[in-house]
Structures are given as structure tokens and as C-alpha cells.
């Protein structure tokens, strides 16, 4: 069974096509990442799936129900698509009670949800005393109030410090392992790689990849990163790799060579014979960032 299924889903804003005929079949259960460059159509897609805006054409089903009738599925969906808005003078628990009452949700689950998001001991503290990470976790607790089958999160780690990011990553994996589907959009590619089982990558409003994280990383060729001691030697180092028959590109003051790890000693010898001293030489493993840049060309445009 799929949690989200789309066929030809399209959204135009005047002459601008924000989402271009995307087809998706997302699994039920686990954590699904949603990534793409600035303006790729992520937020527009999420808003269509939540019934906040209507598509121009195409169709989509969420939890088996058409998005043309959001009332058929929204009671089984939890969402956090902007910074959570809570009452600063109320405690975390009191805030959840207010939202549970407004949404008609079971208030007896509040204590359990505070434990789930790691706020069991801070539920009686006022919201204004919470760190940004705690506020995000309380927001996720609020999204879990309806005991949803699908949890949709847009940039849940935005602005968090490293500890807060790790806490949210662990929380998302735990929620996904419980049988719920977590659909999470983020520009932090390393965190998406660490947290997600599957991934959807879009660019210019269209899907460029949809599948498991393992399948995507298998498509990423091995590479070697090398940096010359003197920046003026970088063009010559690049030429050495190219002359050896490998594709090489500049990357943040170094070069990246699409070559197997065991070619690194050869590159080191070539550099030495050419009078180039290396300050860095290492093989890089497959990662989401490299796959993302290779498939979208987004290195110059950002990933928000």
C-alpha cells in the first residue's frame, strides 16, 4: 500500500509552472526525504497534498483518498509546515491540551506524546523557556495529536544547533520505525541521508529520482578529493587527472576526480613528479550531496 500516489500532478501560477506532472508512489511506513534546489516545487507539492492549494491538473491520493476531497484523509494526517505557533505563557502540556481541544483529539495521549518527543520532564515548563529544538519537538508532538498514519514535516531542523538536529533525526527515525510514514522536506542533505529510508528528489518542478536511499547512493560513482598545497597548482593538478582519462572538477579549493579509491596513490605519484605538493588526498564515499549535485546541478543554486 502506498501512502502518497500522484499521477501527472501539476501546479501553475500564471505563466510559472511550479510543479510539472510529477508521478510518485511512496511506501507506507518509514521516513521519506523530499529534497530539491530553491524553487524546485517542494513546498507547492506539500501544500497540494495537504489540500491547501488545488492542482492545475493531474491527480493525487493520500492514504488512498483523492486530494480533491481532503476531508477523507486529513484526520489521519499530521503536519508541521511552518514554525510552530504556541502560547508562550502556557506550559508545553497546556499548549497541547489547547490544540487537542480545538482539534477534537484525545487529551489522554498528551503525556505519552511528550515522552515520545523527549519532553516528558519539561512538559510543565512554560513554552517561552524552551530552546528552539524543544519548540520544534513540541510542534511535532502537536502534529502527532491525531495519531496520524502520515506525518508531513517541512524543514523541521531549520535553525537548530547540531544537538537539536541530531535529536530531531533520532525522533523521526523512531516515528518511522513505529509504522507511521514520515514525509520530511529539508535542505540539510546529510541529515536526510542519515534519517531517511527512501527519497524523492525534484528539480524544476519534476521528479529526477524516487526510490530507496540505497538505490540512489549506488548510482553515485566513487571519487577522489585532492588539494594542492599552493592554489596556483590546482589547474595543473586538474589537468593531471584529466590527462589520465578521468573526469575532474574543481570543488571548494580542491579537485574532485571521478575515479576509484585505489587510483589515489597514482595521483599522488603524478603530482609528486610534476612538483605539486598535496595538502589533502582522500577517497570519498557515496553520499547524498554528491548524488544531489550530479542529478540536479544545484551546486550554484542552493538547496532550500
Looking at residue 128, its pLDDT comes to 96
Q: Tens digit of pLDDT for each residue in 88-118?
A: 999 999 999 999 999 999 999 999 999 999 9
CATH architecture of 2-218: 3-Layer(aba) Sandwich (3.40)
Closest CA to 56 of 68, 42, 64: 68
User: Which residues of the chain does CATH 3.40.50.300 include?
Assistant: 2-218
Dist CA 191 CA 102 (whole Å): 33
In order, the DSSP letters of 215-282 are HHHHTSPPEEEEEESSGGGHHHHHHHHHHTT--EEEETTEEEE-S-GGGHHHHHHHHHHTT--EEEEE
Sequence ranges of the chain with CATH classification 3.30.70.790: 223-285
* Mean pLDDT of the chain, nearest integer: 91
Q: Is the pLDDT of residue 294 over 80?
A: no
pLDDT of residue 217: 77
**Per-residue pLDDT tens for 68-95?**
999 999 999 999 987 778 999 999 999 9
Strands 198-203 and 16-27: unpaired
pLDDT, tens digit, 9 for 90 and up, residues 216-240: 877 776 789 999 999 999 999 999 9
Q: In CATH, which superfamily holds the domain spanning 223-285?
A: UreE, C-terminal domain (3.30.70.790)
SS3 182: strand
Residue 300 or 137, more confident = 137
- SS3 label, residue 87: coil
- Count of Cβ atoms closer than 10 Å to residue 133 Cβ: 19
The string of pLDDT tens digits covering residues 8-46 is 999 999 999 999 999 999 999 999 999 988 888 999 999
pTM of the model: 0.78
pLDDT of residue 303: 43
Amino acid at each position: 500500500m502506498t501512502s502518497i500516489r500522484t499521477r501527472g500532478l501539476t501546479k501553475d501560477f500564471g505563466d510559472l509552472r511550479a510543479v510539472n506532472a510529477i508521478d510518485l508512489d511512496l511506501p507506507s511506513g518509514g521516513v521519506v526525504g523530499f529534497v530539491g534546489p530553491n524553487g524546485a516545487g517542494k513546498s507547492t507539492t506539500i501544500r497540494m497534498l495537504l489540500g491547501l492549494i488545488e492542482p492545475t491538473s493531474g491527480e493525487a491520493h493520500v492514504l488512498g483518498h483523492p486530494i480533491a476531497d481532503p476531508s477523507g484523509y486529513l484526520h489521519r494526517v499530521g503536519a508541521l509546515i511552518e514554525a510552530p505557533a504556541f502560547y508562550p505563557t502556557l506550559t508545553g502540556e497546556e499548549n497541547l491540551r489547547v490544540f487537542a481541544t480545538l482539534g477534537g483529539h484525545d487529551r489522554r495521549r498528551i503525556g505519552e506524546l511528550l515522552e515520545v518527543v523527549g519532553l516528558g520532564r519539561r512538559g510543565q515548563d512554560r513554552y517561552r523557556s524552551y530552546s528552539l529544538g524543544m519548540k520544534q519537538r513540541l510542534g511535532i508532538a502537536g502534529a502527532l495529536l491525531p495519531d496520524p498514519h502520515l506525518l508531513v514535516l517541512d524543514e523541521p531542523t531549520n535553525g537548530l544547533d547540531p544537538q537539536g538536529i541530531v535529536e530531531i533525526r533520532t525522533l523521526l527515525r523512531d516515528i518511522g520505525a513505529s509504522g507511521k510514514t514520515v514525509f520530511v522536506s529539508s535542505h540539510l542533505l546529510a541529515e536526510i541521508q542519515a534519517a531517511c529510508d527512501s527519497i524523492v528528489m525534484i528539480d524544476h518542478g519534476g521528479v529526477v529520482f524516487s526510490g530507496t536511499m540505497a538505490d540512489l547512493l549506488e548510482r553515485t560513482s566513487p571519487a577522489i578529493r585532492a588539494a594542492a598545497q599552493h592554489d596556483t597548482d590546482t589547474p595543473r593538478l586538474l589537468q593531471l587527472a584529466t590527462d589520465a582519462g578521468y573526469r575532474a572538477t574543481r570543488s571548494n579549493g580542491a579537485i574532485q576526480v571521478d575515479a576509484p579509491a585505489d587510483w589515489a596513490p597514482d595521483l599522488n605519484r603524478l603530482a609528486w613528479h610534476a612538483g605539486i605538493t598535496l595538502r589533502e588526498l582522500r577517497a570519498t564515499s557515496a553520499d547524498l550531496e554528491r548524488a544531489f549535485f550530479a542529478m540536479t546541478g544545484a551546486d550554484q543554486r542552493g538547496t532550500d
